Amino acid sequence: MEVKNLGKGQKSVNIFKKYNDKYTGRKVVRLTSDKYISHHPYFYNKMITNDGRYLIYASNRDGNRNYYKLDLMNGANIQLTDGYEIDDFSACLSGNDKFLFYINGDSVIRLDMDSLNEEIIYKTPEKWKIGAFGMSSDDKFMLVNEMNKKDIVQNNNWSAFETQWAVKPNCRLIYIDVDNKRSRVIHEEAHCWLGHPQIRPHNNNVLMFCHEGPGTKIDARIWLINSDGTNLRCATPKEPDEVVTTHEYWINNGSKIAFMHRQINGRTTIRYVDPITLKIKELMECSNYCHFTSDSKNTIIVGDAQPPVEPFLFIVDVASRKEEKLCFHGTSWKSYGSTQDCHPHPAFTPDENAIIFTSDMDGKPCVYKVEI
């Protein structure tokens, strides 16, 4: 019997539901209860411990959205946080698994995974609201994007996406020295929505962010800047037939940025851009992914397809440039208070033998694991 949590440090047990995917036969496990809204952190954030045993996920099982640590061997659960304004997609484990970084209201928190003690790494000034953060690969630095509160559109449905872009909000990027808790504004734009901050792996001087908004209306999606605020450059100039460039991420070794590109005729491709030369290379044509990511050696890619393609996760063999169905994700893409709640956001486990994803195919957003 599943026990409802009562607060930080409380323990419970998740009952796993195992089945074989009806389309591919692969083994799938539902890891969380369909009684609550649950999902894993954003797909390029570290969410599983190095030994592959524990998963960090968010759930509203105690009435608020909080973070939990789930034992993937036996379903044992520990509630890690007890907050009312937690950004439930922001969590990111440190490289050594000792800490969990996440956003709570106007603060970035570092939580000790053993003691559950917390410390504030950064607190945003009153007029600003934190959007998201990206960690450096050595956990020494953090890149945060913020929006002026006067420009925020208060709506949790997709109808607000274009409205938020149309406001042309005042946004800025903050570069934070984590251990010394020192921060500085490195870039600010008076009339542009900035998002998806990420630091180049193994090179803390090169930062990536995006101009957020409808793909056909923004000037260009992917931008780079140095950590001292110099050398701002566009990495993906907009093409005449472009519908959207989206969901960019750094390849694990930092040698290139991967992104999706969709044309007016519906052709969707996986592309790379070199952060030094800014040369763009097309890898292959693919299904209509909403999000995608690579394994640590960039030999396998996983993506979550969206309409008009059937609702599947796909895996790609990079060497052969071949795509195949991994499993049915069946999500509705609808909002449960956040537009991201039931997005699959596929992510590799550390051993890269399985994929974590979220779906509401059982009624509410739940976290699943499928074997590759």
Give pLDDT, residue 6: 56
Give pLDDT, residue 371: 99
Integer Cα distance of 300 and 276 in angstroms:
24
- What is the CA 169 to chain-centroid distance, rounded? 22
- Cβ contacts of 180 within 8 Å, gap of 6 or more: none
- Contact (CB, 8 A) for 72 and 51: no
Q: Give me 217's structure tokens.
A: 């209306």
- Cβ contacts of 140 within 8 Å, gap of 6 or more: 177, 178, 179, 204
**pLDDT digit string, tens, across residues 36-71:** 999 999 999 999 999 999 999 999 998 999 999 999
Give pLDDT, residue 352: 98
Give pLDDT, residue 1: 30
Nearest by Cα to 192 from 158, 173, 167: 167
- Contact (CB, 8 A) for 104 and 65: no
The segments of the chain whose pLDDT lies below 70 read 1-6
Give pLDDT, residue 157: 81
Nearest by Cα to 343 from 303, 286, 294: 303
Give 283-288's long-range contacts (Cβ < 8 A, gap of 24+).
Answer: 283/318, 283/321, 284/316, 284/321, 284/323, 286/260, 286/314, 286/316, 286/323, 287/312, 287/314, 287/323, 288/262
Order of strands, sheet of 92-93, starting from the edge strand that comes earlier in the sequence: 92-93, 99-104, 107-112, 118-123
**pLDDT digit string, tens, across residues 227-265:** 999 999 999 999 999 999 999 999 999 999 999 999 999
Give pLDDT, residue 165: 97
Q: pTM for this structure?
A: 0.96
DSSP string, 127-139: TEEEEEEEE-TTS
- What is the CA 104 to chain-centroid distance, rounded? 17
Give pLDDT, residue 2: 41
Q: Give me 214's structure tokens.
A: 């409808």
